[in-house]
Amino acid sequence: MKVSEAISSRTSIRDFLSKPVENELIESLLEQSSRAPSGGNLQPWQIYVVNGDVMTKFLEHDASWLEEQPSQYEIYPKNLKEPYRTSRYQLGEQMYNLLDISRENKSARMEQVMKNFNFFGAPAAIFCFIDRQMGPPQWSDLGMFIQTFMLLAKENGIDTCAQEAWSIRNKSVSSFVGADKESILFCGVAIGYRDPDSRINKLKSERRPFNEWATFVKK
């Protein structure tokens, strides 16, 4: 598979089969991903893998966690301006329309949101942490690492979903994986094989036209 094919075919999968993913494959993908760009070669990512029986134990652990867990960063800016607000809104409506969930059906919408916290049924996942000392350039490096991982997974027939929603479960996750107190949980990434019959897996977000966000500078 070409890189261009992996980019165009990768989507955020929200319904996985129970088919297992081998630890050896995940390890190989992560090792390859470590070649992602890293300013000053800091390699600021800290990755924890949960898979198989460990995934089951983690989900039980997380479900029993009662302490409040505010996110350690703002997932979206407050008072999101245009065109970003519309892009976010349209994706949500596209997803719920695909699932035949009306805007008035708040309970069904919340039920779908909560599926984040079982990784949409994925058998494996990674948690991506970064040291709180790091700044925006290193967060960018972590993002490139995650993107590289997801594209390599696609090349190997594996599907993924990056989930910033896990940032609001940071204490539960940190406790389970043994992350140190100087580490910030950025996101989880669900790993597995998509259910080809699931309606939600037909969701593919739209992108704004090229001329709205790119300019060839002329002097």
Checking phi first, is residue 69 left (phi over 0); if not, alpha (psi -120 to 50) or beta? beta
Share of the chain above pLDDT 70, in %: 100
Flag whether pLDDT at 188 surpasses 90: yes
Question: Which CATH architecture fits 3-76+118-213?
Answer: 3-Layer(aba) Sandwich (3.40)
Instruction: Give the tens place of pLDDT for each residue, 18-74.
Output: 999 999 999 999 999 999 999 999 999 999 999 999 999 999 999 999 888 889 999
Band of the pLDDT at 207, cuts 50, 70, 90?
very high
Please state the pTM of the whole predicted model: 0.93
Alpha carbon of 184 to those of 83, 90, 129, 210: distances in Å? 29, 30, 5, 34
Mean pLDDT for the chain overall: 95
Q: Is 151 exposed, middle or buried (0-12, 13-18, 19+ CB in 10 A)?
A: buried
